[in-house]
Amino acid sequence: MIHIVDNTLRDGSYVVDFNFTEAQTRAVCKGLDELGFSWLEVGHGLGLGAWNKKEFGLAKVNDIDSIVAELPVEKQTQAKRILHKVAPIVMSWNDRLEITVYGKHFPQSNIIDILQYLLRVPGADIPPLGEAAFREAIQNTGGIPLSGIRKTKSQQGKGTKRKLVGDWISY
């Protein structure tokens, strides 16, 4: 299988001085998803974390909003709540969206894949790298409604089943 990576939002942000709006970001993500693109680069053209640095060019959309815009609309509010609560305390991500939780880096992890899996986005059926650590950080942070978050295998039983099919897909 061939995966085509689109970088309209990241590298294309140079052309508009890093000023894609949240609505434009959503529209691009939706259009590319409909065209069948399986991987998108997101964030500030100079890397995640650069969105609010004057010397790099201030962006209209912060990193969290850029990441959340890639999720289905019905999952965005909960994802944003989780990231705003967990990120400043125990978690960060690099310009490849790989996470570091409690100081442990997870190479080849992807924050969007983790959110898709935890929030039960269709097609996200296999736990991605770093998912267990991220889940633990959510639970330890407290104050985040966990309804709608996928249960772990040990939490299942009461009528829930985990379906493991193929590979998970980022879009």
pLDDT value at position 130? 92
Count Cβ atoms within 10 A of the Cβ of residue 148 and give its class: 0-12 exposed, 13-18 middle, 19 or more buried. Answer: exposed
- What is the domain partition of the chain in residue ranges? 1-70, 72-153
With a cut of 70, say whether residue 127 has pLDDT above it. Answer: yes
Mean pLDDT of the residues in the chain: 75
Q: Residue 165 — very low, low, confident or very high, per pLDDT cuts 50/70/90? A: very low
Count Cβ atoms within 10 A of the Cβ of residue 2 and give its class: 0-12 exposed, 13-18 middle, 19 or more buried. Answer: exposed
Q: Give the separation between CA 166 and CA 25, rounded to whole angstroms.
A: 28
Q: What share of the chain is helix, strand, coil (3-state, %, to 5)?
A: 40, 5, 55
pLDDT value at position 171? 27
Q: Residue 84 — very low, low, confident or very high, per pLDDT cuts 50/70/90? A: confident
**C-alpha pair distances (Å), 120 with each of 58, 77, 113, 125:** 33, 14, 11, 8
pLDDT value at position 169? 30
In tens, the pLDDT along 5-20 reads 787 877 787 787 777 7
Residue carrying the six token digits 């974390």: 49
Cβ-based neighbours of 2, under 8 Å, separated by 6 or more? none
**Rounded-to-10 torsion of CA 29, 36, 82, 14:** -40
pLDDT value at position 64? 84
Q: In what order do the strands lie in the sheet with 99-101?
A: 91-93, 99-101, 104-105
Q: Give the separation between CA 130 and CA 118, rounded to whole angstroms.
A: 11
Task: Mean pLDDT check: name the lowest of 9-18, 68-77, 126-135.
Answer: 9-18
pTM over 0.85: no
